Structure 1
Amino acid sequence: MQKKQKANLALAISAAGFLGTLPAGGFFGGLLHHGFLAATVGGLADWFAVTAIFSKPLGISYRTDILRRNRQRIMDALVMFASDDLLSVKNIMQVVRRQDVAQLLVAYLEHRGGRERLVETVDHVAVRAVNTLDSAKVAGEIEIILKDGLRTIPIERVAMEGLQILAEEQYSCHLIKALAEIAQRVLASPVLREMLKENVSLLRQKYEGDSAGRALMLSSLGLTDERIAQIICERMEEKLGEVIAGETPNYAAAKAGLETLLRRLGQDPSLLAALQAWKTGFLRQVSLLPLLVQWIDAHVKGEQPFWLAALETFLNEKIDAFVQSRPWQRRVDAFFKNLLEEELTKHHAVIPDLIRERLGEFSDDALVAMVESKVQDDLQMIRINGALVGSLVGMGLFILVTLAERMW
């Protein structure tokens, strides 16, 4: 049974008891009669008081319908209580500081799928941010940085020092053999042999000229264009073979000549100036922009760029470090709490505005209905208690009056 029905029942019983005991005589009859009378008076008074909060009992408008009449004052009091007391920065932070925010974060990351959600979110944001970049603009910035970096690198001096290093014994022997092996492969190529044959033919024509004797002599010796080119290649291969084999006069002479050439080149100011001029001109003329734009579009952008795996690895490593590091957790806990306190202090005025806005959404009837639904049970208990206390007071007064009459 609802408390309102119980309160009404208590009032009805009190009124019925009062009427029923009117003709009763004697001490006990009078005691019951006055008890029921006082209970009825108390119940009616409390009913009037409770009803006056929400409406006009018996149509009486004087100091009744309290909620509607004093809505603004009540709302201001509620807003002030909620914002300045219940939801004050101090009270909120007292509750928050009792919590270990870092441990809550660790539990979320480790046991509630937080790690996967965090990595997925960061991946999505990073990929989307990169894909919205202007490739040409980014490439232009990178090109400037690269060219500035290349200008500061003394490439020409590095090249000159490299030539002098190659002139040293431990490097020159390997270099000359490598050059000889390259020359052997070039000599073995059909293209070179064909070019050599064509040049031999031109030289032969110039040599023979209008002399039939020279032509006859070369023919009698079997020195055709092909044969002469073959002899030249064989002799060159023989010399190159001696160079590769090493420890021969030809090898020693070639090695000494190469070392001398490398040392002179490594100390030649004109070569240094030429390299500097070439680097300056090359950096001025060359455009890295198309290559950089193509590289950015192909490798940096897209749904699965090359850097995404590295980003995920980095995030997982940092999460593992956070989970295992208690000092780090304490710093994070303090950071979040201090940040929350700063933001609450800065924006605390928003709380009363939100409460006032929410209360303003209620009409008078809706506000009365809401408040009544929240406190109705407690108010009905006041009515019930009023009837009970009234009956006890009424019977007590009857006893006192009866005793006083008998004493006087």
Structure 2
Amino acid sequence: MMKTKPVATTLLVVMAIIFLISYPQRQDMFWAFIMHVSGAAMIGGLADWYAVTALFTKPLGIPFKTAILPRSKERLIQMGRTMLSEELLRVPQMYYAIKKERVMVRIIEYGMSDVGQGQMRDILYGVGNQVLSHMDIEPMRQEINKAIYKGVTNWKATPLVILFGRCMLERHTASIFWLYFNRTCQRVIASNQVYPYLYRVMLDIMKTYTKDSFFRELAIAFGGDGLSPERLVETVQKKAVQFLKDNESIDSDLGRYVWGQAIRFFNNLETNAEWQAFIEEHKDQWIKMVLEEWEG
């Protein structure tokens, strides 16, 4: 705006000069036309100058309804907070932004990083110590014995995966697994290692939210530290951790939903040819890798 101000001022002065030159000769049709055009441009320029100036200062010392932004700073801050709480952080808005920003790709990137792989190893180690020790593995042992006698090359891994899922999803085992998984998610979300990924997502969400909207940018600009990406990420972390704490029980709304989805997945796995082919293919690759390492 500071770069275009001299140009706009020059045009306003030129229009005023043309108006003053043509006004005494307004009896002539040509000069009357020039007078009206320059007069309209001059009036429009003055109106625009007054409107823009009145947003930030008091033009010509006029105190009435001027300096709107400085006077309304607190109201704009409150408006920005309300907009963020009612619009930016709404579930549909967050879902749209997360879907558009390809959050799953970033989750995979985090899982492939050294920090992510370390946390995955800790999770698997915890599952082995905390969950599997409470599970009845006798049916799995019998299935594994059958597989050994039939030969691993002709053995289908899908029945074992389905059986493992059903053993895991028995109420007692599922409640222990859900509690452990829930608290692990709490630690991961609250950790400093996840903070940079959440910060990048929040920046992209805010860019999407303020795109092509001057008032939204203005509201966030006057929001201060309360509307900074850092503070919003901290708020999201606290709310997410608190939400998980409130749903640690398998009988909570989130626990029942996840449990039901897992049961539905393993029930559908019996008839899902695509997933069965995926499991068998990776089973063969894993067995080949193990045998090669054993031979080596």
TM-score scaled to structure 2, two decimals? 0.43
From the CA coordinates, give the structure whose radius of gyration is larger.
Answer: 1
Which gives a bigger RCO, structure 1 or 2 (Cα 8 Å, sep 6+)?
A: 1
